[in-house]
């Protein structure tokens, strides 16, 4: 049963780009149809994902402790961190917007980091899990990635719109770090090969 | 089919990739680590000392917004505001920049800059928009982290170059910290502070003169109060001197360097100077050598004030320094010794014998008739001054002098002399035999009365005569009226007149006939006899 479970075990490699099935016995390194590099699983998927994840973790720290936005009013700066901005939104009664920012800027990136971390750990330690559910989680992570750029979009619009000389909005160092976190987690999710989840399962 | 289970190149491919990709992909987390590590390190390393400043009120201060600035450069930020334990003041916690730690010493001063509008200008206007900020005046000293904020900004906000001097005056007027000091109209400094002298007889103003101008404060430099409008009337008309506009409103001090002072006469810091009340006063020469004498006036000294001038033929040579009242209990003699300070250097001596002291000189002048006299300076106010002049006839009257100063003889004032003459006139009048004069006048009046009675009688008689005359007049009146009637009958147009006219014409004709007859008779007298000769 296990022997028939996937194409690799039956001696086939599917071209990653055009989906052409190649027999492993042919020992080809390139797809005979589209001439792209042939590999059974994404090469170094775990390593790359791990490296990108670590980068995201490192950048996630400055993204949260430094001000993301500096409202410069008559020469007097008013820096806001992500968390500070959310608290201010809650305090001024804008609970829905506060919740939106909380989800987009704090929950989504942190859950993404934790999710990818769990996927990596699962593959590395060959945890016996419900691979179907974990694959759903991977899909959600890959899909939701781009939507946590909300803060960055908002700041980039504000920086351009609010520029009256007397009042200016300047993006803080956390904005760059946060954008990097989002992009790196997107790459990490992209580099993770969900098939690895299935490779290690004994009880399929 | 078993061949497929172990793909021979899978591992090999992976191995190649591992060698090639491992260092490259792991550079990324390294970079991320470096970047975030550097960011955090920078923030932490820039974090300066945390200080606590005690202020009386948190008016305008905001957490995370209020800055601490020195020369408009931000060097810190307020991170917390809390009520002090004494429940009366507030503690402002501020996070300073790292480089500021060197000048946070025990003599560093903090104050809150808010907009201020005063006579000398508007300051801190930018804080209207940006909110108040805390200003700092760094000083060298011992390290300190707890400070007491100032209620009002210190006058010298920056460590400007210049010198401090002390001005002594008796009246502070409208001056105070911030009062400008001008030199030829240039604003060169300001009053920092003032305090009452220890024995409370004068006020000491501490002033600051900025660096290039402090060299003009020399030994004989004169300071005067340059505020308000100075209107003086002289022989050449009215003169109006005004200070700068801000000095007009808020007071001001000006100074002038003596042209004879050289650069070597520059005085050190904190040298005391006298502050004159006005420009004119500051131009007066000060004589340090004085001779004090006492004068006794045998008249009222009302209008004579301390400081009244002593004039020798109109030129001031001294002033009155004291007026006392002495009553001898036994004899009830009232004496008014007037102390006078004369500056002998004001008088240029010609032909002065050597070794003659001012006192000897005065004695010599007194012997020649020099006397003091009270004169009225102003008719409006009745102010008196002491005039010295030569009165060779006047006698020297010595008084019982207790003052210890030499006595200077006086002579009564001109007004007093007039009063004395008037008194003499009155005395003469009082000596006149007024009573006998009155009785004689009385007699004369009685005889006059008799005369007037006789006159009354005469008048009564005259009255009778007048009534007779009246009667006569009435009969005359009647005669007149009959005459009137006669006259009316003769009026033109009346019958009588016409008849009279007729009569007169006939008479005329008769007369001409008679005339012809007589003429004929003259020529022919014979006709009387012969008759008319008919030819």
Walking along chain B (535 residues) 10 residues at a time, the average pLDDT comes out as 45 42 76 88 83 86 83 86 88 86 82 73 69 83 83 68 85 79 84 83 86 84 78 70 68 82 80 82 72 84 84 86 86 85 80 75 82 80 83 79 82 78 86 85 90 89 89 91 84 81 92 91 83 67
Write the CB contacts of B206 (distance below 8 Å, at least 6 apart in sequence): B164, B165, B166, B191, B192, B193, B194, B195
Q: Distance (Å, rounded) from C-alpha A189 to C-alpha A52?
A: 9
First-to-last alpha carbon distance for chain A, in angstroms, is 8
CA distance A203 to chain B (A): 18
B interface residues, A as partner, C-beta within 8 Å: 1, 3-5, 7-10, 13-14, 17-18, 21-22, 25-26, 28-29, 31-33, 35-37, 39-40, 43, 64-65, 67, 126, 129-131
Tokens, residue B492: 């033109």
Q: Are B93 and B51 spatial neighbours (Cβ–Cβ below 8 Å)?
A: yes
Instruction: Write down the pLDDT at residue B505.
Output: 94
B130/A74 Cβ within 8 A: yes
Q: What is the model's pLDDT at position B506?
A: 93
- The pLDDT of residue A1: 40
Extract long-range pairs of A198-201: CB within 8 Å, 24+ residues apart: A198/A5, A198/A6, A198/A131, A198/A135, A199/A6, A199/A41, A200/A123, A200/A126, A200/A127, A201/A128, A201/A129, A201/A131
- Indicate whether A22 and A107 sit together in one domain: no
Residue A30 belongs to a domain: yes
- Map tokens 């003009």 to a residue: B216
Instruction: Label residue B45 left, alpha or beta by phi (over 0 means left) and psi (-120 to 50 means alpha).
Output: alpha
Give the separation between CA B33 and CA A54, rounded to whole angstroms. Answer: 9
pLDDT at B120: 58
Contact (CB<8Å) B21/A47: yes
**Taking all residues of chain A, what is their mean pLDDT, rounded to a whole number?**
82
Rg of the Cα atoms in chain A: 22
Residues 6+ apart with CB under 8 A from A42: A16, A191, A192, A193
> Do A138 and A181 share a structural domain?
yes
Nearest-by-CA chain B residue for A74: B130
Residues of B in Cβ contact (< 8 Å) with A173: 39
Query: B398-431 burial, b if ≥16 CB within 10 A, otherwise e?
Result: ebeeebebebbbbbbbeebeeeeeeeeeeeeeee
Alpha-carbon torsion (A105, A107, A111, A113), positive or negative: positive
DSSP type of residue B214: G
Is the sign of the CA dihedral A179, A182, A186, A187 positive or negative? positive
Give the closest of B10, B25, B32 to A48, CB-based.
B25
Distance of residue B280 Cα from the nearest chain A Cα, in angstroms: 51
If asked whether residues A109 and A70 sit together in one domain, one would say yes
**Predicted local confidence at residue B507, as pLDDT:** 93
Structure tokens at B324: 């006392």
Residue A204 lies in a domain: no
Asked if this assembly's ipTM is beyond 0.85, the reply is no
Q: Which of A15-24, A48-57, B8-17, B243-252 has the lowest mean pLDDT?
A: B8-17
pLDDT at B270: 82
Residue A62 and residue A1 share a domain: no
Q: How far apart are CA B314 and CA B377, in angstroms?
A: 11
Q: How far apart are CA B302 and CA B492, in angstroms?
A: 97
| Residues paired with residue B310 on neighbouring β-strands, in sequence order | B318, B386
Task: Kindly report the nearest CA distance between residue B98 and chain A, in angstroms.
Answer: 18
CA B217 – CA B164 distance, rounded (Å) = 10
What distance in Å separates residue B14's CA from the closest CA in chain A?
6
Pinpoint the alpha helices (H) of B205-324: 245-250, 279-283
Domains in chain A, number? 2
Q: Which residues pair with B196 in a beta bridge?
A: B203
Tell if the CB–CB gap between A166 and B129 is shorter than 8 Å.
yes
CA-CA distances (angstroms) from residue B315 to B257, B342, B386?
Answer: 26, 12, 11
Q: Where are the domains of chain B?
A: 2-44, 162-283, 291-428, 495-529
- Let me know: does B147 contact B53? Beta carbons within 8 Å: yes
Tell me whether residues A43 and B126 touch, CB distance under 8 A: no
Which of B18, B35, B131 has the CB atom closest to A76's CB atom? B131
CB-CB neighbors (< 8 A) of A76 in chain B: 65, 67, 130-131
Higher-confidence position of B315 and A79:
B315
- The CA distance from A42 to the nearest CA of chain B, in Å, is 10
**Predicted pLDDT of residue B503:** 92
Query: In the sheet that A76-80 helps form, which strands lie side by side, from edge to edge?
Result: A76-80, A69-73, A167-171
Residues of A in contact with B26 (CB under 8 A): 47, 51
Nearest residue on chain A to B41, alpha-carbon basis: A62
pLDDT attached to residue A143: 87
pLDDT of residue B509: 94
Q: Which sign does the torsion angle of CA B213, B214, B217, B218 carry?
A: negative
Cβ contact (<8 Å) for A184 and B7? Answer: no
Q: Give residue A6's pLDDT band: very low, low, confident or very high (50, 70, 90).
A: low
Q: What angle do CA A165, A171, A174 make, to 5 degrees?
A: 160
Whole-number Å distance between alpha carbons of B295 and B391: 16
Taking every pair of Cα atoms in chain A, the longest distance, rounded to a whole number of angstroms, is: 73
Q: Name the E strands within chain A.
A: 12-14, 21-23, 69-73, 76-80, 167-171
A74 to chain B: which residues are within 8 Å by CB? 126, 129-130
**Residue contact A56–B67, C-beta within 8 A:** no
Chain B residue with CA closest to A43: the answer is B14
**What pLDDT is attached to residue B119?**
60
pLDDT value, residue A30: 79
- Say how far apart CA B60 and CA A45 lie, in whole Å: 58
pTM of the model: 0.48
Q: How far is A174 from chain B (nearest CA, A)?
A: 10
Which chain A residues have any C-beta within 8 angstroms of a chain B C-beta?
A: 3, 8-13, 24-25, 27, 29, 39-40, 43-44, 47-48, 51-52, 54-56, 58-59, 61-62, 65-66, 73-76, 78-79, 166, 173, 177, 180, 184
Residue by residue, DSSP assigns B369-420 as: TEEEEEEES-TTT--EEEEEEE-TTPPP------SSSPEE-B---HHHHHHH
- Nearest in space to A49 (alpha carbons), one of A138, A129, A151: A138
What residues contact residue A154 under an 8 Å CB cut-off, 6+ apart?
none
Q: Number of CB pairs < 8 Å for A and B?
A: 98
Are residues A134 and A51 located together in one domain of the fold?
yes
Contact B104, B144 (CB under 8 A): yes
Report the alpha-carbon distance of residue B346 to residue B312 in Å, rounded. Answer: 11
What's the confidence (pLDDT) of residue B234?
Answer: 61
Whether residue A182 sits in one domain with residue A103:
yes
Q: Which two tokens stand for residue B523?
A: 């020529």
A6 lies in which domain range?
Answer: 1-40
Q: How far apart are CA B130 and CA B132, in angstroms?
A: 7
pLDDT of residue A26: 67
Task: Check CB contact under 8 Å for A9 and B131.
Answer: no
The verdict on A26 and A114 lying in the same domain is: no
Cβ burial, residue B317 (10 Å; 0-12/13-18/19+): buried
Same domain (yes/no): A66, A139:
yes
Q: Is there a single domain that holds both residue A26 and residue A49?
A: no
């Amino acid at each position: 049963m296990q022997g028939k479970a996937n194409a690799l075990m039956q001696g086939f490699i599917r071209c990653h780009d055009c989906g052409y099935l190649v027999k492993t016995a042919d020992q080809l390194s390139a797809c005979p149809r589209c001439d792209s590099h042939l590999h059974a699983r994404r090469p170094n998927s775990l390593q790359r994902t791990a490296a990108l994840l670590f980068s995201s973790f490192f950048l996630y720290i400055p993204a949260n402790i430094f001000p993301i936005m500096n409202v410069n009013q008559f020469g007097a700066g008013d820096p806001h961190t992500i968390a500070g901005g959310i608290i201010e939104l809650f305090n001024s009664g804008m609970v829905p917007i506060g919740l939106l920012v909380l989800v987009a800027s704090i929950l989504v990136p942190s859950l993404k980091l934790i999710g990818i971390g769990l996927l990596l750990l699962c593959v590395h330690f060959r945890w016996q899990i419900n691979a179907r559910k974990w694959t759903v989680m991977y899909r959600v992570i890959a899909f939701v990635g781009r939507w946590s750029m909300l803060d960055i979009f908002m700041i980039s619009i504000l920086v351009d719109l609010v520029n009256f000389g007397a009042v200016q909005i300047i993006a803080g160092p956390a904005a760059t770090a946060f954008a990097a976190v989002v992009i790196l987690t997107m790459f990490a999710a992209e580099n993770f090969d969900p098939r690895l989840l299935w490779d290690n399962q004994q009880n399929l | 089919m078993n061949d497929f289970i172990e793909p021979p190149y899978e591992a090999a491919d992976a191995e190649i990739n591992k060698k090639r990709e491992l260092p490259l992909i792991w550079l990324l987390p390294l970079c991320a680590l470096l970047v975030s590590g550097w960011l955090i390190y920078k923030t932490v390393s820039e974090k300066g000392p945390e200080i606590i400043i005690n202020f009386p009120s948190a008016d305008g201060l905001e957490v995370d917004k209020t800055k601490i600035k020195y020369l408009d450069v931000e060097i810190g930020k307020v991170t917390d505001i809390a009520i002090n334990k004494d429940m009366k003041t507030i503690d402002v916690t501020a996070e300073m920049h790292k480089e500021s730690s060197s000048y946070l010493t025990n003599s560093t001063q903090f104050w809150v800059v808010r907009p201020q509008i005063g006579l000398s200008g508007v300051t801190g206007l930018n804080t209207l928009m940006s909110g108040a900020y805390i200003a700092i005046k760094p000083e060298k000293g011992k390290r300190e982290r707890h400070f007491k904020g100032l209620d009002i900004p210190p006058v010298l906000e920056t460590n400007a170059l210049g010198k401090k001097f002390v001005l002594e005056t008796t009246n502070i007027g409208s001056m105070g910290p911030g009062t400008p000091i001008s030199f030829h109209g240039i604003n060169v400094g300001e009053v920092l502070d003032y305090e009452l002298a220890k024995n409370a007889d004068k006020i000491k103003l501490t002033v600051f003169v900025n660096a290039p101008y402090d060299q003009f404060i020399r030994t004989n430099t004169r300071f005067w109060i340059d505020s308000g409008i100075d209107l003086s009337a002289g022989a050449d008309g009215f003169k109006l001197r005004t200070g700068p506009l801000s000095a007009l409103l808020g007071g001001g001090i000006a100074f002038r360097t003596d042209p004879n002072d050289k650069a070597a006469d520059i005085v050190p810091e904190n040298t005391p100077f006298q502050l004159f009340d006005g420009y004119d006063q500051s131009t007066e020469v000060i004589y340090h050598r004085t001779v004090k004498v006492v004068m006794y006036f045998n008249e009222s000294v009302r209008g004579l004030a301390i400081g009244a001038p002593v004039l020798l033929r109109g030129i001031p040579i001294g002033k009155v320094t004291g007026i006392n009242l002495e009553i001898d209990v036994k004899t009830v003699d009232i004496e008014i010794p007037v102390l006078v300070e004369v500056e002998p250097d004001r008088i240029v001596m010609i032909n002065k014998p050597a070794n003659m002291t001012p006192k000897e000189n005065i004695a010599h002048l007194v012997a020649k008739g020099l006397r003091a006299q009270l004169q009225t300076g102003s008719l409006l106010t009745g102010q008196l001054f002491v005039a010295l002049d030569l009165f060779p006839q006047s006698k020297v009257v010595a008084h019982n002098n207790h003052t210890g100063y030499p006595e200077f003889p006086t002579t009564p004032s001109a007004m007093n002399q007039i009063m004395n003459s008037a008194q003499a006139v009155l005395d003469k009048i009082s000596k006149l035999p007024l009573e006998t004069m009155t009785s004689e006048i009385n007699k004369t009046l009685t005889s006059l009365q008799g005369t007037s009675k006789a006159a009354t009688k005469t008048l009564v008689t005259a009255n009778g005569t007048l009534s007779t005359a009246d009667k006569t007049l009435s009969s005359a009146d009647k005669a007149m009226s009959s005459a009137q009637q006669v006259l009316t009958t003769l009026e033109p147009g009346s019958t009588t007149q016409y008849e009279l006219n007729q009569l007169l014409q006939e008479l005329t004709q008769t007369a001409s006939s008679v005339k012809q007859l007589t003429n004929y008779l003259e020529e022919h007298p014979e006709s009387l006899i012969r008759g008319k000769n008919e030819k």
